[in-house]
């Protein structure tokens, strides 16, 4: 009925597609650009007041449909080692 080679090939393609979707959907990948932008901003902060100001900034332009844009403070809380190295 079904050729064994076709079934194995089909399962392999499905597995690769699932892995690619999982890899692309990971939050770290989606937040990577924002993490980079915020890390650059924190690196030049000269005082605590600068850091507090940066905490409230939105690192990337968001589309109108996105309700909850991430701030640098939220990214710093979620990824402390990436945003502020040596933290």
Average pLDDT of the chain to the nearest whole number: 81
Rounded percentage of the chain residues whose pLDDT exceeds 70? 78
**Which residues touch 87 (CB under 8 Å, ≥6 apart)?**
80, 81
Task: Provide the pLDDT for residue 8.
Answer: 86
HSE-up of residue 27 (Cα within 13 Å, Cβ side): 4
Assess whether pLDDT exceeds 70 at residue 68.
no
The pTM for the full model equals: 0.59
Q: What's the token pair of residue 31?
A: 């937040």
């Amino acid at each position: 009925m079904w050729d064994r080679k076709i079934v194995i090939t089909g399962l392999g393609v499905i597995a690769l597609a699932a892995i690619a979707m999982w890899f692309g959907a990971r939050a770290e990948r989606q937040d990577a650009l924002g993490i980079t932008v915020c890390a650059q901003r924190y690196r030049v902060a000269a005082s605590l007041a600068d850091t507090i100001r940066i905490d409230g900034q939105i690192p990337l332009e968001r589309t109108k449909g996105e309700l909850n844009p991430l701030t640098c403070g939220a990214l710093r809380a979620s990824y402390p080692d990436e945003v502020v190295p040596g933290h």
